Amino acid sequence: MLELYRAEMSSRLLLGTAGYASPDLLRQAVQASGAEIVTVSLRRESARTKTGQGFWALIEELGCRLLPNTAGCHTAKEAVATAQMARELFGTAWIKLEVIANDDTLQPDVFGLVEAATELSGDGFDVLPYTTEDLSVAERLVAAGCEVLMPWGSPIGSARGLANKTALQTLRSYFPETPLIVDAGIGAPSHAAEAMEMGYDAVLLNTAVAKAGDPVKMAEGFARAVEAGRLAFEAGLLEPRDMASPSTPVAGTPFFKIDSVS
């Protein structure tokens, strides 16, 4: 079971709700993924179209636990106000905290992130920070009260997978008890499986499913990859080695001679 802020989940795949071609595709993809947590956002509501009201009806119907984000915030102040609006709007203290430093890379502003995480944790939020794989930042986030960390695999929507595996492995080793979720950059089920094999507790992805040729099939592919990776981690993976090691027993190999008759 995956435990995040005292909530237990059986699925280790968290899915984003953005970028699907239609509400129906979103609904089907979430179902196929088996995700129990979906990420959502808040945006300015038009008095004319009232777009958000219809989306809310769809989200309620999904029956998933909601993880609202602070996507697009560039300062701790914006992120804190957005989180406060999200808590009221979605009725949850969970917040996927994003403070963005750079619009081209969507790299987290780790200084603003720690500042906002400190304030929000103190205000009773359960903060799930979208961060880099930097260990010193992770330590500060934990000190700020974060019980879950979400390092990026690579930039959001880039589909580049785990760009810095060594640092991700270091984080895993350094925080054996803290739930760690790879958030962002996952492009293929193999990337997700890789994160899970490393012992990451879950993965969070959106674009790879939403923009797939067949999002529903891809959602199922990711669900299986996450499960496979987790099973492999629990089973214990073989250590890589430099030389071959025969899998078939060597003893009794035909034509093998120890002695010669002459």
Which parts of this chain interact with another protein (CB under 8 A)? 16-20, 26, 39-47, 50-53, 55-56, 59, 68-69, 71, 77-78, 81, 84-86, 88-90, 156-157, 206-207
Rounded to a whole number of angstroms, the minimum distance from the CB of residue 161 to another protein is: 17
Q: Reduced to 3 states, what is the DSSP secondary structure of residue 73?
A: coil
User: Closest by alpha carbon to 150, among 118, 176, 127?
Assistant: 127
CB 79 within 8 A of CB 99: yes
In Å, how far are 105, 228, 260 from 235, measured between CA atoms? 36, 10, 45
Q: Is 61 exposed, middle or buried (0-12, 13-18, 19+ CB in 10 A)?
A: exposed
Check residue 234 and report its DSSP letter. Answer: H
In Å, how far are 45, 166, 185, 187, 212 from 160, measured between CA atoms? 33, 15, 6, 6, 15
Q: Reduced to 3 states, what is the DSSP secondary structure of residue 181?
A: strand
Rounded to a whole number of angstroms, the minimum distance from the CB of residue 214 to another protein is: 19
Check residue 48 and report its DSSP letter. Answer: T
Rounded to a whole number of angstroms, the minimum distance from the CB of residue 78 to another protein is: 8
User: Closest by alpha carbon to 150, among 124, 184, 118, 106?
Assistant: 184
Nearer CB in complex with another protein: 85/231? 85
Nearer CB in complex with another protein: 16/229? 16
Rounded to a whole number of angstroms, the minimum distance from the CB of residue 118 to another protein is: 17
Nearer CB in complex with another protein: 17/140? 17
Nearer CB in complex with another protein: 211/217? 211
Nearer CB in complex with another protein: 24/43? 43
Number of neighbours of residue 10 by Cβ within 10 angstroms: 8
CB 150 within 8 A of CB 129: yes
Nearer CB in complex with another protein: 17/118? 17
Rounded to a whole number of angstroms, the minimum distance from the CB of residue 90 to another protein is: 7
Rounded to a whole number of angstroms, the minimum distance from the CB of residue 247 to another protein is: 43
Catalytic residues: 96
User: Closest by alpha carbon to 172, among 130, 202, 206, 208?
Assistant: 202
